[in-house]
Amino acid sequence: MSENQDGPARAHTRPEGVSDATVEALGSVSKALETVERARGHLYALHQLTGTADLELGRAVDLLRAAGHAEWAERIDRELVGRNVLEGRWTFQIVEEYDATFYEPYKALERQVRDELVEGRDHLFEAEMKEARRTRGRPGHAARPAGDA
């Protein structure tokens, strides 16, 4: 690999005239979005786990009835099965509201600031950190996959 190819792809190099401070600031914006992505994943986990628990509770109600505990089955069915997790909301509604009111605007603005300040290039801070930390010419330290421009 020639010296010209032993560096980051164009998509991971800062455009001419972009300052260190701008790259650092955009790195922080991206890190914040990555944290929001993780939070969103946890919200989806809450959604799926809560739904799974509700379905299992429905199964438990059926088993209680079959075991002769109709009063407990009715009480659990009435008080817990299908219960809202927040006022008027099941978890799918929470996920939808989170996405519409927080996640989508957050993601869109992160994209807009990168488009405006660094021609839409992503992970410049990390790409520059990689260049500073990797050992050129060593196995496992390539700048990018073979054939990546």
pLDDT in tens, 97-110: 999 999 999 999 99
- Of all residues in the chain, the percent with pLDDT exceeding 70 is 96
In a domain, 106, yes or no: yes
Q: Which residues form the domain of 47?
A: 17-133
Q: How close are the terminal C-alpha atoms of the chain, in Å?
A: 13
Domain membership of residue 2 (yes or no) is: no
pLDDT of amino acid 147: 78
| pLDDT of 83 strictly over 60 | yes
Mean pLDDT within 115-134:
95
Angle, CA 145 vertex, CA 139 and CA 149 arms, to 5°? 135
The answer to whether residue 97 sits within a structural domain is: yes
Q: Is 63 helix (H, G, I), strand (E, B) or coil?
A: helix
The answer to the question of residue 57 being in a domain is: yes
Average pLDDT, integer, range 78-84: 98
Total number of domains constituting the chain: 1
The pLDDT value recorded for residue 3 is 42
Mean pLDDT in residue range 41-70: 98
| Structural domain includes residue 139 | no
Residue 77 bridge partners (DSSP) = none
- Residue 2: the pLDDT is 44
Asked if residue 6 is part of any domain, the answer here is no
Q: Specify the length of the chain in residues.
A: 149
Question: 64 in a domain, yes or no?
Answer: yes
Q: How far apart are CA 44 and CA 62, in angstroms?
A: 27
Residue 1 has pLDDT above 70, yes or no: no
What is the mean predicted confidence (pLDDT) over 26-41?
97
Distance CA 45, CA 40 (A): 9
Where does the chain have alpha helices with state H? 20-66, 70-79, 91-98, 104-118, 124-133
The pLDDT-based confidence of 6 (bands split at 50, 70, 90) is confident
The answer to whether residue 44 is domain-embedded is yes
